[in-house]
């Protein structure tokens, strides 16, 4: 094995520290003032990117691509930060990246972009991404990308990856009840949907940023439009969760009775 060809799928999402209010637009639900909201890199995809970068650094001859669909201006804004953390090659598509975009159309566009990467060896492909998404949260896009590319070895909820001496991949996935499932994969092609991983966010490195910008800016300029059709998908309504608070002030209630009321409320 002369190294892995690692592709990470990840996009931009509105900064969750700002109010995100669903409204009905001309094309269906959207976020209020979405185009002027600050954008950040999807935190789920960020875990995948940092783990992928560690894998590339650990195995000589490996290469790393980031494939992203999003509004070009937002991608440029976020890449100014992400581009200073890890060495990567950007493949950009100019299209919507909100939470109301059809997952199947997004997966098809991502798969087409990955298949068109010049020099990509599918026999060495390690496809990474977030287990879910901070915008869609469907947990379906990455799996469908893998299906389009014919990748049958798929692992979701990955927390740890280790390359064995014989070249096999040891994958630790999350399972129910706080347990983990440990699997051995003979090698690529393989898909890894990352949960949180174990790698911290790398510090900003201006030298890496300057190196990446030489490829990022041309990639953004050449970003082809991604037409993500809804194919009949319609949303009846979308709204933020409503706060509900029921307060009752009672004096001198015994502790056991308070506990019984709390249990009854939870069960109800």
Give dist(CA 84, CA 204) in Å, integer.
Answer: 5
**Contact (Cβ atoms closer than 8 angstroms) between residue 100 and residue 30:** yes
Closest to 44 (Cα-Cα) out of 141, 119, 112: 141
> Residue 195 maps to which CATH number?
3.40.50.620
* Number of separate domains in the chain: 1
Q: What is the pLDDT of residues 195-207, one digit of tens each?
A: 887 888 888 888 9
Q: What is the pTM of this model?
A: 0.81
At residue 12, φ and ψ (nearest 5 deg) are -95, 150
Residue 250 lies in a domain: no
Measured at the CA of 65, the angle between CA 15 and CA 174, to 5 degrees, comes to 65
Residue 192 lies in a domain: yes
Give dist(CA 78, CA 37) in Å, integer.
Answer: 12
Greatest C-alpha distance within the chain: 74
- The boundaries of the domain holding residue 152 are 5-225
* Residue for token pair 């190196």: 211
Residue 258 lies in a domain: no
Q: What is the pLDDT of residues 101-140, one digit of tens each?
A: 778 888 889 999 999 999 999 999 999 998 887 776 667 8
Residue 44 lies in a domain: yes
Q: What is the pLDDT of residues 53-105, one digit of tens each?
A: 999 999 999 999 999 988 888 888 888 888 898 999 999 898 877 767 778 88
Residue 238 predicted with pLDDT over 90: no
Closest to 110 (Cα-Cα) out of 153, 75, 143, 67: 67
């Amino acid at each position: 094995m002369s190294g892995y060809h690692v592709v990470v799928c990840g996009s931009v999402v509105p900064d969750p520290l700002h109010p995100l209010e669903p409204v009905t637009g001309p094309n269906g639900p959207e976020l209020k003032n979405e185009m002027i909201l600050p954008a950040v890199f999807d935190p789920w995809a960020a875990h995948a990117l940092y783990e992928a970068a560690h894998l590339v650094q650990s195995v000589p001859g490996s290469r790393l691509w980031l494939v992203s669909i999003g509004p070009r201006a937002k991608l440029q804004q976020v890449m100014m930060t992400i581009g200073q953390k890890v060495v990567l090659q950007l493949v950009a598509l100019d299209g919507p990246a909100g939470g109301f975009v059809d997952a199947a159309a997004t997966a098809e566009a991502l798969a087409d972009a990955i298949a068109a990467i010049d020099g990509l060896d599918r026999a060495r492909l390690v496809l990474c991404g977030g287990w879910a998404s901070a915008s869609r949260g469907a947990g379906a896009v990455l799996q469908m990308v893998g299906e389009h590319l014919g990748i049958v070895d798929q692992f979701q909820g990955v927390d740890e990856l280790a390359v064995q001496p014989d070249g096999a991949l040891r994958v630790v996935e999350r399972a129910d009840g706080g347990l983990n499932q440990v699997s051995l994969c003979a090698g690529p092609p393989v898909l890894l949907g990352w949960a949180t991983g174990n790698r911290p966010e790398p510090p900003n490195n201006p030298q890496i940023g300057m190196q990446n910008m030489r490829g990022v800016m041309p990639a953004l300029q050449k970003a082809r439009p991604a037409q993500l059709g809804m194919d009949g998908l319609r949303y009846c309504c979308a709204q933020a969760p409503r706060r509900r608070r029921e307060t009752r002030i009672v004096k001198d209630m015994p502790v056991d009775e308070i506990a019984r009321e709390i249990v009854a409320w939870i069960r109800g």
